[in-house]
Amino acid sequence: MGSEINRRDAIKRAVAIGVVAVPSASLLSACASSGGGSDKPKSEPTGAKSATNPLGVKKGTPLEAFIFKGGFGDAYVKAAETVYNSEYGIKVKHTGTQGLGPKLQPRFASNTPPDVMDNSGADNLDTAALAKENKLQDLTALLDAPTIDDPSKKVRDVLIAGTVEQGQFGTSAMYAFNYAFTVYGGWYSNKLFQDKGWEYPQTFDQALALGAKAKKENISLFTYPGKYPYYVHFDLLAQIGKVGGKDVLNAIDDLEDGAWQVDAVKQVIGYYEEVAAKKYFMPGSEGMTHIQMQTAWTKGKAAIVADGSWVENEAAPTMPKDFDLAVGALVGSGASDKLPFGTVYAAAGEPYIVAANGKNPVGGMELLRIMISKKETDNFTNTTKSLTCITGASEGLTLTPGLASASKALTAASANVLNSRLQDWYVKLNQETLGNLTLQLLTGKIDAKKWIEGAQKAADATKNDSSVPKFKHV
Amino acid sequence: MRHGKYRFIIGFLAVPVALYAVLVISPFIQDFQISLTDWSGLTPEKHYIGLDNYQKIIHNNLFWKALWHNVLMLLIVPLVTLALGLFFAFMLNVGGRRKGSASVAGVRGAGFYKIVYFFPQVLSVTVIAVLWEQIYNPDPDNGLLNNLLGDVGLTSLQQSWLGDPSIALACIMAVMVWSNVGFYVVLFSAGMASIPGEIYEAALLDGAGRFVTFFRVTLPLLRDTVATGWVYMGIIAMDGFALVQLMSVNNGGPNESTDVVPLLLYKTAFRDNSQYGMAAAIGVAMLIVTLLFAVLTLRLSRRERIEF
């Protein structure tokens, strides 16, 4: 071989160099997981507090906003940022995105998060986990600040009931400010119902009777997006609350032992089993995305869909002009229910969070305070066709049919508003585990008994999983 | 003289090896390090918990289910893709009617087909996923596939496709095959073009038909190219993340029938209470399986090479 270097030797040497290079390399890249800085909030740059600046924002301090750009877009936030800019003499650094989680996780890990975020969408950050890690600013100061329109009123006083609770994670601190208010229920075309002479059902029996009538006309009673089976839970969970009362629903949220094995659950799940057995769900729903499902629904192939009030905006491209969108309240067993017909499931959504150790947490809260001024809420409702979490904010505005119907349903329900926390406290349990069971129930692969058994088992497993942070109704 | 040569070679190797170490090897080591902790990914603090994460994975049914789906993909997708790729490449290069003096020729319009087969390769995975989501739409009017089946009177074959647990995984695998086959048509075409015409002529003189030519001449001479393709395809199949995440119902559903390990990793890290340590452990498991696959494939396909 002589002076020839054979391949094997060359490789050996290359590996040796690699071994030398590795330790220094891991030093170099160590910053990927061990960020600099301590976990404690940095000293907040605050300015003098005044009547127009109650939170004490320091002029000229930069502010960074990371906004989920989904169904609502992000123009409404930009409008509020313009106000902030002129007030505090800076330009808010704005990012609109659909993937907050992957983008912001490293920034939280290295303690350089943006100041204010709209933490919504499928790829959002785990708000509960962030709250548990003390990464989020307690927004109590914002709640106690006066509103812009009427300084005699605190922010806390103008929020729709339930908004504060929606932002709490097992303690009295409020970490998420849910800006939009969503009314859930059975959405239908008033025109279709009037043309056919149908009435929106109030009881399970009426719904089944309507299903039979609709089937004769080749219309399915219900549809749902199989890709996101938790849409069905918007109705299903709240119906359990309507039949059995708020305590039953809270017990389910609190993962109490045997919470699913009560009569109210049996009635509701039994009803879904019957609807599935009679084939009143639109065939193929189990393989559809929400857009595909909504397209079939706006074409009149299905009568009712469990959805949130965002559907008016989302389905607008395929919705006929004379569709006359309306929402129906929760369907229950009847007179034996704990809550009357007219009970709705409504919750504040679109959670805004402020980073505790950002550069300008006070500024983040101030931006939220600007966003709930009459000017900005009007803008939001007009442009996104959605309600905000501010009481009576939609008064005096010309509402679209769906929004008007939702607003009316909310007023009619008065105190009978249900809110299942399962969907934000235990995302995996609600969406995936229960979602899988629901898909099987709706396609007739399992019966109600199996569903309830599976749900109880899944809830127990979540309860016993030490990696899942637990929450309780306060 | 000798020393100078080594210095020369080391001088050339040092930079790429260092880059490889920083960009490839060090993340692996760091991943392993993270997999021994309970890190949430959201704070700088993490605690070492030994092999707890691995223990949890071993006892997690969903992990084994997801791994099985990956193995299924690994067995089926490369086989189908490469077989189709070989078939198309053969037809485009060798399988046509001979005209004039040319010993081999492709089918008519071969150039056009080559471009068409390559189309999916230019599309991003997201575009492909959204496209096929519409094709698989179960609606008999809006869904392309069900609509076609309805038009030819095969309404009994209409399916909910991605919504049916028994065929959902197959539906996604079909898309993987569709989107990758074009690349292999081109790759194998290049390989076939380098096979000397004389060999084909000799086979012809001996009276070999298309079938025999393919199995006795083309395939053995393409062995290396096919083996490389196999490793590539295997790595694509071991991933499968993007298509499953974008297309499957309920994130790996229905009823977990399409879940794959990378998707499980993603959900563990980014959604299910941000368990980065656990996700890192899943990553290590993936690494081991992929390495095993690559080693096995290269071992099995090692053979003497025919020089021409």
Q: Alpha-carbon distance A329 to A332, whole Å? A: 10
Tell me the ipTM for this assembly.
Answer: 0.81
Question: Which H/E stretch holds residue B293?
Answer: helix B276-300
Q: Which residue has better confidence, A10 or A322?
A: A322
- Tell me the pLDDT band of B103, cut-offs 50, 70 and 90: low
Q: For a pLDDT cut of 70, what percent of chain A falls above it?
A: 90
Give the model's pLDDT for residue B234: 84
Euclidean distance between CA atoms A19 and A146, whole angstroms: 62
Residue B59 has pLDDT above 50, yes or no: yes
Q: Which chain A residue has the Cα nearest residue B168? A: A287
CB contact under 8 A, B136 and A287: yes
Higher pLDDT pick, B153 / A344: A344
Burial of A330 (0-12, 13-18, 19+ CB in 10 A): buried
Same fold: A64-182+347-403 with A183-344+419-464: yes
Select the more confidently predicted residue: B267 or A123.
B267
**Cα–Cα distance for residue pair B139/B158, rounded to 1 Å:** 9
Mutate which of A22, A104, A288, A293 to disrupt the B interface (most B C-beta within 10 Å)?
Answer: A288
Banded pLDDT at A65 (limits 50, 70, 90): very high
* Nearest of A77, A247, A104 to residue A177 by alpha carbon: A77
DSSP B66-116: HHHHHHHHHHHHHHHHHHHHHHHHHHHHTBS---TT-S-B--TTHHHHHHH
Interface touch A5/B9, C-beta < 8 Å: yes
pLDDT score at A145: 92
- Mean pLDDT of the region B285-293: 86
What lies within 8 Å, CB to CB, of B187 at 6+ separation is: B85, B89, B225, B229
All residues of chain B having their beta carbon less than 8 Å from the beta carbon of residue A14 are 13, 17
User: Phi and psi for A66 in degrees, rounded to 5?
Assistant: -120, 110
Residue B212 parent element (H or E): helix B210-212
CB-CB under 8 Å, A5 with B6? yes
Strand partners, B48: B37
Instruction: Give the other-Cβ count within 10 Å of B291's Cβ.
Output: 10
Q: Chain-wide mean pLDDT for chain B?
A: 84
Interface of B with A in 211-250 (CB under 8 A): 248-250
Q: For chain A, what are the domain ranges?
A: 64-182+347-403, 183-344+419-464
Is B284's pLDDT higher than 50?
yes
Q: Homologous superfamily of A64-182+347-403 in CATH?
A: Periplasmic binding protein-like II (3.40.190.10)
**Three-point CA angle A130, A103, A362, nearest 5°:** 55
**Predicted pLDDT at B150:** 86
pLDDT of residue B2: 59
Task: Domains for chain B: give ranges and CATH numbers.
Answer: 59-300 (1.10.3720.10)
Whether B41 and A226 lie within 8 Å, measured CB to CB: no
Q: Phi/psi of residue A81, each to 5°? A: -65, -35
A181, β-bridge pairs? A348, A387
* CATH number listed for the domain at residues A183-344+419-464: 3.40.190.10
